[in-house]
Amino acid sequence: MCFPTLYHRCPVGTYPSLIMDPWYFMDISIEENDDGLGLEEFATSYPDGSWIIVSDEYKIIYNNKEYTRVEYDNGTKIITLNRDQDTDTRLKLLLSPIA
């Protein structure tokens, strides 16, 4: 078991209180593969709420585009999607009141 106070990096799903994937709010997936692997196999979450998904072998799919890396910085609330070494897309997570 991974304890966030003892380790800097913990694989997704190892926090005792983590019930859902931290990217649940995104329509994101990984390309079909014969190994039956899902996004959680390539993800790491951090104690501050940030997370990263990296896969060189299988493409990460978001908005019908393929990426090799998706990173969420909980401090800035910015999601960065990379194709190979290039940053392709940056998104800002915003919360606004409903009238």
Give residue-wise pLDDT tens across range 55-92. Answer: 988 999 999 999 999 999 999 999 999 987 777 888 89
Asked if 60 and 83 touch (Cβ cutoff 8 Å), the reply is no
Q: Cβ neighbours of residue 65 under 8 Å, at least 6 residues apart? A: 81, 83, 88, 89
Q: Residue 36 corresponds to which tokens in the numbers above?
A: 């039956």
Tokens of 16: 């005792």
Q: Where are the alpha helices (DSSP H) in 15-89?
A: none
What confidence tier does 12 reach under pLDDT thresholds 50, 70, 90?
low
DSSP-assigned beta bridge partners for residue 67: 60
Q: Which two tokens stand for residue 37?
A: 């692997």
Would you say the C-alpha torsion 8, 10, 16, 21 has a positive or negative sign? positive
Region 16-37 average pLDDT: 76
